[in-house]
Amino acid sequence: MDEQFRNLEKLMYTLTDPEHSKKHDCVFVIGKRYAVSYQHEDHSTLELGQKLVIHNLLDKTIKKNVKVFFKSRDIGIITFETTGDYEFDDFSALTRYGMVPRPYHQLGINQENRTPVWTTGTIIERSSRIYLTNNCKTAFT
């Protein structure tokens, strides 16, 4: 499982330049050309088609050009698409479907030292494509 976690950590990016920002929002690769993040706070002002640069969390030298492909206030997500012919090198099947309740692992960013942080919990309810967990977090599939 450790290797699987390390591989997932390679799929984490941020919209903030690691050299010039103390805030590191989470952007996560979900397909060969797509990444997803939350659609609130400063992300709520992003517009469809807007071009941005995302920065890999673990390797500060990796930067990818993306544009806002989809956003939904209702489910709280924003999806980015790579520009040009670029495809992400590696992405995984991120969700395993099953009966609830079941344990889950959630990947985030430690804001103080810009490193991956894993939390765990139990999914207690599923509604459509949204999961409610026992620690008041919502996960989307």
Domains and CATH numbers, the chain: 2-82 (2.40.10.10), 102-140 (no CATH)
pLDDT at 124: 53
pLDDT at 85: 86
Give per-residue pLDDT as tens, 15-54: 888 788 777 788 888 888 998 887 666 767 888 999 999 9
Query: What SS3 class is residue 40?
Result: coil
Half-sphere exposure of residue 7: CA atoms within 13 angstroms, side-chain side? 12
Whether the pTM exceeds 0.75: the reply is: no
Give per-residue pLDDT as tens, 65-117: 999 998 887 777 888 999 988 888 766 555 444 444 566 677 777 778 878 88
Spatial separation of the C-alpha atoms in residues 65 and 54, rounded to whole Å: 7
How large is the C-alpha radius of gyration of the chain? 15
